[in-house]
Structure 1
Amino acid sequence: MAVTFQDLGVAKWLVEALTAMKIYTPTAIQAACIPKVLNGHDCIGGAQTGSGKTIAFAAPMLTRWSENPSGVFGLVLTPTRELAYQIAEQFQALGANANLKVIVIVGGEDMTAQTLELAKCPHFVIATPGRLADHILSSGEDVIRGLRRVKYLVLDEADRLLTNSFADHLDTCFSALPPPSQRQNMLFTATVTDSIRAIKEKPVAAGKPEFFIHEVDTVDKVAIPSTLSISYIFLPSNVKAYYLHCLMTLEEHTNKSAIIFVNRTYTAELITRTLSRLGLNVTSLNSDLKQADRTSSYHRFKSGAARILVATDVASRGLDIPQVALVVNYDLPADPDDYIHRVGRTARAGRKGESISLVSEKDIERVLAIEERVGKKMEKYEEVSENKVIANSMKVTSVALREAEMEMEKAENTIREKKKINKRKHASEFVLAAQQDKRKVVKKGNLVTK
């Protein structure tokens, strides 16, 4: 007989909430981690993308919270804004009938509004380390006092958080929390690195249960799901946009929800504008966009209002968009693990998915490194040929690409001109203020001599 959430010790009200969301049976990572967390263990959970890691840490925290719902009960740190909002949505859905208070603290949003929300001591805080560190350093004790009593800390996408780029922000965040011995600590990731495993070997505080680690399917050995097909198109690097248009307009892909990954924000904007001019329903997600635009793009794609998302690696981790059927690597990443996270946006939870990489002569070493990491060879994709590109895509894409470049250059010139105007304006204001100060000094001097 299958194990149920109730068997794992999850609160009855939460089992009912899961049932309402049509989640009936725990996944492997949930079945392994939930009882251990409820029994007080610190926990490391490793599982493939789409395996239900969020519920693996949310269910035990919400169960314990419902027994004593006061103050800031849990803090979840995650590397990207989009993932923070997604986690918050799941918490809010699970606690919809339980008066649960969840806030999101990320960059790109109004700092003052966040300060007011944080000062109210919500039950759960979902945050990116950089913005939470800003609050800890600048918002005052009255604002962050709730963090001093946090009972649970979760690092989601822990392998990325525990890198040098987040180190200083994490140290600041941890400085506002109770010591590790006085809280439960959970790390969840799709890539269990040696540095994460080493955490298990650290001494356990007196009276605390031993550190628990669980890896589903030994994550590092099964890097991509068996339901995912991976293939490549070999092409000259200067015609990638033509091949991309041909690929995305194939009859077999015209109704598929797809993510196109690029390495640079400029490329993301250029490809988005180009495909849009070619009549494709496309939106963009990258770190150069304002937060409101990033949120809008994410929800447009998730709701199906946009069929194609052109994204940098801000979209490669954790985002759960079930309908994604195709992932295209317009640019190959330098790190094979980034490839794994990218293609992990499709073929989730047992569904089939497809990944196609555009490979130029400069990418051979990256392809070999990826194939070694995933333990699988990429197949040659046969549906896009040079003749088909020349016949169907080269002319129209060339025009659209040139127009997109001109449009971006015009926008950039407008921004530069505005900056120059603002600079001259500030300089004039500075000179005027200096002249007024000088006149005040002269006037004051005349009064003194009279």
Structure 2
Amino acid sequence: MTTDFASLGVKPWLVTSLGAMAIKRPTPIQAACIPEILKGKNCIGGSRTGSGKTVAFAVPILQMWAQDPFGVFALILTPTRELALQLAEQFTALGSPQNLKLSLIIGGVDMRTQAISLSQKPHVVIATPGRLADHIRSSGADTIAGLRRVRVVVMDEADRLLDEGFAEELVECLSVVPDQFGDKTKGIPARQTLLFTATVTESVRALKEGEGRAREKGGREVFISEIDTDSLAVPPTLHQTYIFKPSTVHLAFLHTLLSTPGNIKKSTIIFTNKKTTAQLLSHTLKPLGHRVTPLHSDLSQRERTDSLGRFRAGAARILIATDVAGRGLDIPEVELVINFDVPRDPDDYIHRIGRTARAGKKGESLTFVDEKDVLLIKAIEERVGREMVEYKEEEGVSLEGRVVREELKKVSEAKRVAMLNIEEGRDEKGRKKGGKRRLETGEEGRGKRVR
């Protein structure tokens, strides 16, 4: 049985980098995949959330790059900005002894700055498909020239990238990198493809079959490892509960629940299905005394990064998020996950609750349910192979009594004020945009043009 990274063939400088990040022993997915990737095989790695998939591909990529630091060595595609930022942090930390040069290509950042970074041929490019596709379309051939000789392509959270929503951008991104056979006439070797996922979907299975056919035609050998995927993706140390109440009182119950002695200090993520709901919860709970911070796609990239940073540092106890926080983010101290809205897809439920009970630790999840959610809950229970149990109140605490006697009126007033503030903020934002647009188009006569 493998007990350390050196026995997997990992070089001493990388073992030292891993140790500096407090990573001493390989997880099963790392032990399985690292040696096979180092042999040059394509890899499809399936393992549950929190199992260390990033290290499973980052370590062999950096080791192969350090031995042959040629141009843009690797392209890593991932579905969200937050995951891209997290990957960039881990690659930078691991590759710093070898002066790794990295380019991060995500939305919400100036295109020109990114184009310059890409044109300077970094060693590793980490990108979201939409923004990289933007550069392929508009930044010129010289900017993306380095991608045409990439040695390794990674699809992180592959089940999400293979969804229809990413299809067009993904095809565009893959069109500029070498294919699985390369081009011997130009001296371009076949690319090595690494695919990692927590959930093996039909699209992932189809890709497996395609990789198998490519091997038959002379492509790279394919290594496939599935460890704790599917129903086992829910950690056994996670306690899943629900509260069944009318949706009209969910917010009052949420506030009361967060204020109980057993929960008042817990690091918590609250998931919503819509960014408008996340915004409303944030504006309502903060005046009620909760240290909250939001994370959704209506925020600027700086706001999203700062919000996640506050939560990780403990400056905010509660992160209120849409599913942009549902996948892959490494937030190790989350003790409680609350589904304020029941997710429509059972796999999204698995990813959400996977934010807690990581690395063998205990964790709790709580889902708010009303009459319209019953079929969704049944589908989730069937998917995870386990029934949720009804939330048991703490000794001496009556949620129902407190909500009715003390909190309902207070929360309703806070919600009303929050809705007014949100609406005023939208109006103000619209006026600012409108004013800027008029200056840009000369609609205010002699107004200076905005550059």
Alignment-derived partner of residue 203 in structure 2 = 195
Q: Which amino acid aligns with 1:400?
A: A
CA distance in 1, matches of 2:374, 2:46: 30
Q: Report the count of equivalent residues.
A: 432
Identity of aligned residues (%): 54
Q: Which amino acid aligns with 1:429?
A: E
Asked if residue 375 in structure 1 is aligned to residue 385 in structure 2, the reply is yes
Contact 1:76 1:126 in 2 (8 A): yes
- When residues 423 and 101 of structure 1 are mapped into structure 2, their CA distance, relative to the original with a 3 A threshold, is closer
User: Of 242, 262, 276, which aligns to 1:266?
Assistant: 276
Matches within 5 A, 1:172-321: 172-181=172-181, 182-202=190-210, 203-205=213-215, 208-217=219-228, 219-321=229-331
CA-CA distance at 1:49 after TM superposition? 0.5
Q: Which amino acid aligns with 1:43?
A: C
Matches within 5 A, 1:111-150: 111-150=111-150
Contact 2:4 2:24 in 1 (8 A): yes
CA distance in 2, matches of 1:423, 1:136: 28
Alignment-derived partner of residue 445 in structure 1 = none
DSSP 3-state at the match of 1:393 = helix
Alignment-derived partner of residue 31 in structure 1 = 31
Q: Which amino acid aligns with 1:257?
A: S
Alignment-derived partner of residue 84 in structure 2 = 84
Contact 1:223 1:373 in 2 (8 A): no
DSSP 3-state at the match of 2:70 = coil
Alignment-derived partner of residue 438 in structure 1 = none
Q: What whole-Å deviation, never above 9, does each CA across 1:293-347 have from its counterpart, x for those lacking one?
A: 1111111111111110000011100101001110000001111111001001111
- When residues 243 and 13 of structure 1 are mapped into structure 2, their CA distance, relative to the original with a 3 A threshold, is same
Q: Which runs of 5+ in 2 are unaligned?
A: 182-189
User: Of 347, 366, 382, which aligns to 2:376?
Assistant: 366
DSSP 3-state at the match of 1:96 = helix
CA distance in 1, matches of 2:15, 2:438: 62
Alignment-derived partner of residue 341 in structure 1 = 351
CA distance in 1, matches of 2:224, 2:310: 37
Matches within 5 A, 1:98-117: 98-117=98-117
CA distance in 1, matches of 2:253, 2:307: 24
Alignment-derived partner of residue 40 in structure 2 = 40
CA distance in 2, matches of 1:397, 1:55: 44
Contact 2:180 2:220 in 1 (8 A): no
Q: Which amino acid aligns with 1:188?
A: F
DSSP 3-state at the match of 1:3 = coil
Q: What whole-Å deviation, never above 9, does each CA across 1:254-302 have from its counterpart, x for those lacking one?
A: 1111100001111111100111111111000001111111111111111
Deviates more, 1:360-369 or 1:388-397: 388-397
User: Of 411, 424, 436, which aligns to 1:410?
Assistant: 424
DSSP 3-state at the match of 1:104 = strand
- When residues 238 and 96 of structure 1 are mapped into structure 2, their CA distance, relative to the original with a 3 A threshold, is same
Asked if residue 385 in structure 1 is aligned to residue 399 in structure 2, the reply is yes
Alignment-derived partner of residue 329 in structure 1 = 339
Q: Which amino acid aligns with 1:368?
A: K
DSSP 3-state at the match of 2:351 = helix
Q: Which amino acid aligns with 1:116?
A: I
CA-CA distance at 1:422 after TM superposition? 5.1
DSSP 3-state at the match of 2:232 = coil
- When residues 146 and 398 of structure 1 are mapped into structure 2, their CA distance, relative to the original with a 3 A threshold, is same
DSSP 3-state at the match of 2:63 = helix
- When residues 141 and 256 of structure 1 are mapped into structure 2, their CA distance, relative to the original with a 3 A threshold, is same
Asked if residue 49 in structure 1 is aligned to residue 49 in structure 2, the reply is yes
Q: What whole-Å deviation, never above 9, does each CA across 1:101-130 have from its counterpart, x for those lacking one?
A: 112100110101101111111111110000
CA distance in 2, matches of 1:98, 1:422: 46
Contact 1:41 1:210 in 2 (8 A): yes
CA RMSD of aligned residues (A): 1.7
DSSP 3-state at the match of 1:155 = strand
Structure 1 or 2, whichever has the larger Rg, is 1
Matches within 5 A, 1:420-431: 420-421=434-435, 429=443
